[in-house]
Amino acid sequence: MLRPSTQRYSVTRPLYSEDTFEDEHAKVYRKHKRLLDHFIQYFTCTSERAKNAAVSLLPIIGWMKIYSIKDWLLNDIVSGVSTGLVAVLQGLAFSLLASISTWYGLYAAFFPVIMYFFLGTSRHISVGSFPILSLMVGAVVTRLVPDEGPPANITAFEGLTKDEQRILVSASLTFLVGLFQLGMGLLQVGFIVMYLSDTLISGFTTAAAVHILVSQLKFVLGLTVPGFSGPLSIIYTLESVFTQITSTNIHDLVTSIVVMVMVLGVKEINDRFKSKLPVPIPIEVIMTVIACGVSYAFNFSENHGVDVVGKIPNTFESPIAPSLQLFQMTAVEAFPIAIVGFAVAFAVAKVYSVKHDYIIDGNQELIAFGASNIFGGAFKSLAASTALSRSAVQESTGGKTQIAGLLSAIIVLVVILGIGFLLEPLPKSLLGAVVIVNLKGMLMQVVTVPYLWKKDRPDCIVWVGTCLAAIFLGLDLGLAVDIYCFFKDIPEGVKIFRIPSPIFFANIDFFRDKLKDAVGFNPLRILRKRNKAVKKIKKMIKKGELTLTSVHFYQNNMEDLDKPTDYSDLPIQVNWDTELPANIRVPPVNIHSLILDFSVVSFLDISALKGLKAALKEFIRVSVDVYIVGCDPYIIEKLRNCKFFDDEIKTSIFFLTIHDAMLFIHESHPPKTVSEKVNVTVWSLYKLDLFIQRLICSIY
């Protein structure tokens, strides 16, 4: 075994451009299918394809075939009971965020779970209400049915009480969210979560946590605060809270403080000794039982004015049809809710799929959540996603499959139909305290800001900008763009520009702007100044102001200035790096070679092709040699087919690797001295997020 310091390797091969490599190694062409071939293949049905389609649409078939009753059933039962107890409490708590009656939160822990059991690909996430989604739904509910003043002019509201109007809004919105998710799943756009950056997600969810925290103050303090929505709603809410602060209900406040201290303390114990505890201590459930007992014994509601959960119907309400008029009035809010809910659930599901070594399908997850929310919306459920804390309980208590999820739904069913009355004296301040405690993970994301500031300030600005925008403008408006450049060292006179993303119509202008920033000058501007300088020199020669042979005079128009510099009839060689006559000034070009690293550029459309060709010619015309390395043969073939190459742009500019291009540049531009400084600048261009730039969440 060689010591690490003695391990070396050497590779000797010719210097390859794309042309020389192609000459020596014949390309193997594969047969391209016609549109008709694809059409026939798509609609050809075989038994194998039918089987795969069934397993894909109903993932339960796949894992049920390998289900081990002996090894997994007991784990699923323990996990299902534990998760069900947590789901009951969180369902009640998160319904407060949506500004609807508490028992409708229990519906979100039942109806969507049943549908996801059959259609979902994750075996470990716990489907149900999620605080950020509930808050976003609540914003729509209070906008259309405010606490004070008349509701929106909607025909379906006629003859309904305020609570019934709010339920109709929530159910219709949930139904529409499901339609959006189902539509995206059928259109196979599960890849959309790739456009949600971690920085954007972290900033957004921290802002959401702040909104949730503020919204729960009225329950913790026992105040009556009207619901606000829209930009600066958080300011109006805080103003209302602080103007009533002297009316705080001490019993609510003490209850909340005791619950938060106990829950935080026991959660810390659970985290510290999780390897020794068979199951996490269900402190929220324990505190709920105690609070219900104390509230009932001392009649908190009547004697001390404490707001309690109140009557919970011991039956399911009849399903309702969504309002088409509400669809029109909530579509703008429904789409981001659909994206947020899916992105959160997919992120959590992916963590557990990697840990337990199985595959999840983003498109099928969209279909599963779409169907779950459509089904849930019809039965007045809240919009469903997942919550990390609840999913963590399901996984950490030994859950193996969604049978645990199904059992948790059965626990919720028992509570709704059998023992829901026991929760009627539960103080809402306890629910508010439970919600606030579960925000710890999201609020602690703020500690990443100093790290980002030291390591990546543009990313830090994105985080802070997203967070502040979401806090003050609202969650549906608080999105931002994440763009940055990264510097490193390479040889003087050479720039390497790396593009780690496809180039197409939507980002070609961005690409050209960042390329100009990278090299430090605008080649088109310099080309125009050079052409003006040459014309001025020719004009001075013609007038005899320069003692040179006569030349022809050319008109100075902008169209000519964009063309290659015309040195014809100019009896001198212009050195643009030296001082020019007659105080003519042209910005210097401090590089002679530009390398474009296309190693991860997988796609180039026609619009981008035209923009790229124009950009290359601008550099070539100011005497900057351009080389493209690591380009996919498919793209080179496309460039040939689209007449990309001409007298200025030749196939010889393509090289296999950066090393090949650097060796060629070294031969073409040898160092002036042995001690010439090596200073390489590698520019790395981050992906441009085209959608809403990655919305959600390190919810954790």
DSSP string, 515-565: HHHHHTS-HHHHHHHHHHHHHHHHHHHHHTSS-S---------HHHHTSPP
Residues 266-275 have a mean pLDDT of: 84
The DSSP call for residue 381 is P
Same domain, 138 and 79: yes
In a domain, 38, yes or no: no
Q: What is the pLDDT of residue 589?
A: 84
Residues 174-203 have a mean pLDDT of: 80
Q: Residue 684 — φ and ψ, nearest 5°?
A: -115, 120
Q: Give Cα separations from 509 to 410, 516, 609, 614 (angstroms).
A: 55, 11, 12, 11
Q: What is the pLDDT of residue 543?
A: 73
What is the tens place of the pLDDT at every residue in 87-109? 888 888 888 888 888 888 899 99
Whether 561 has a pLDDT exceeding 60, the answer reads: no
In a domain, 445, yes or no: yes
Q: Which residue has the higher pLDDT, 338 or 660?
A: 338
Whether 383 has a pLDDT exceeding 50, the answer reads: yes
Residues 316-321 have a mean pLDDT of: 89
User: Hey, is 498 helix, strand or coil?
Assistant: strand
In a domain, 191, yes or no: yes
Whether 362 has a pLDDT exceeding 80, the answer reads: yes
Q: Could you tell me which residues come within 8 angstroms of residue 237 by beta carbon, excluding any fewer than 6 positions away?
A: 214, 215, 217, 225, 228
Same domain, 364 and 441: yes
Domain stops at, among 487, 507, 531: 487
Mean pLDDT score of the chain: 79
8 A C-beta contact, residue 491 and residue 662: yes
Same domain, 416 and 362: yes
Same domain, 400 and 512: no
Q: Which residue has the higher pLDDT, 573 or 424?
A: 424
Residues 347-362 have a mean pLDDT of: 78
Whether 480 has a pLDDT exceeding 70, the answer reads: no
Residues 545-555 have a mean pLDDT of: 45
In a domain, 655, yes or no: yes
Q: What is the pLDDT of residue 563?
A: 61
Q: Could you tell me which residues come within 8 angstroms of residue 80 by beta carbon, excluding any fewer than 6 positions away?
A: 394, 399, 403, 404, 405, 406, 407, 408, 410, 411
Same domain, 500 and 407: no
- pLDDT band of residue 696 (cuts 50, 70, 90) is very low
Q: What is the pLDDT of residue 614?
A: 87
Same domain, 402 and 384: yes
What is the tens place of the pLDDT at every residue in 418-439? 888 888 888 888 888 887 887 7
Q: What is the pLDDT of residue 566?
A: 57
Q: What is the pLDDT of residue 5?
A: 45
8 A C-beta contact, residue 178 and residue 371: yes
Same domain, 404 and 474: yes
Domain stops at, among 487, 513, 535: 487
Residue ranges of alpha helices (H) inside 25-68 are: 35-43, 47-57, 60-64
What does the block give as tokens for 543?
A: 């007038």
Q: How many helices (H) and strands (E) does the chain have?
A: 28, 8
Whole-angstrom distance, CA of residue 133 vs CA of residue 214: 16
Least confident window among 64-68, 195-199, 674-678: 674-678
Buried b (16+ CB within 10 A) or exposed e, 667-677: eeeeeeeeeee
Least confident window among 114-118, 133-137, 138-142, 500-504: 500-504
Same domain, 593 and 478: no
Whole-angstrom distance, CA of residue 191 vs CA of residue 144: 33
Same domain, 420 and 513: no
Q: Which domain holds residue 204?
A: 59-487
The residues facing 629 across adjacent strands are: 597, 655
Q: What is the pLDDT of residue 571?
A: 53
In a domain, 569, yes or no: no
- Report the range out of 273-282, 326-335, 577-586 with the highest average pLDDT: 326-335
The DSSP call for residue 21 is H
CATH of the domain at 509: 3.30.750.24
Q: What is the pLDDT of residue 254?
A: 92
Whether 269 has a pLDDT exceeding 50, the answer reads: yes
What is the tens place of the pLDDT at every residue in 107-129? 999 999 999 999 999 988 889 88
Q: What is the pLDDT of residue 440?
A: 81
Burial category of 699 from C-beta neighbours within 10 Å (exposed 0-12, middle 13-18, buried 19 and up) = buried
Same domain, 483 and 618: no
Q: What is the pLDDT of residue 278?
A: 76
Contacts 24+ apart (CB under 8 A), 297-302: 300/251, 300/425, 300/427, 301/425
Same domain, 465 and 503: no
What does the block give as tokens for 128?
A: 């149900």
**Number of domains into which the chain is organized:** 2
In a domain, 153, yes or no: yes
Domain stops at, among 487, 511, 543: 487
In a domain, 553, yes or no: no
Whole-angstrom distance, CA of residue 491 vs CA of residue 625: 14
The residues facing 626 across adjacent strands are: 594
- pLDDT band of residue 481 (cuts 50, 70, 90) is very low
Whether 201 has a pLDDT exceeding 80, the answer reads: no
Q: What is the pLDDT of residue 172?
A: 95
Least confident window among 29-38, 151-160, 238-247, 477-486: 477-486
Q: What is the pLDDT of residue 170?
A: 94
Same domain, 430 and 499: no
8 A C-beta contact, residue 688 and residue 491: no
In a domain, 32, yes or no: no
Least confident window among 33-47, 377-391, 484-498, 578-592: 484-498
Single-letter amino acid, residue 583:
N
The share of the chain scoring above pLDDT 90, in percent, equals 16
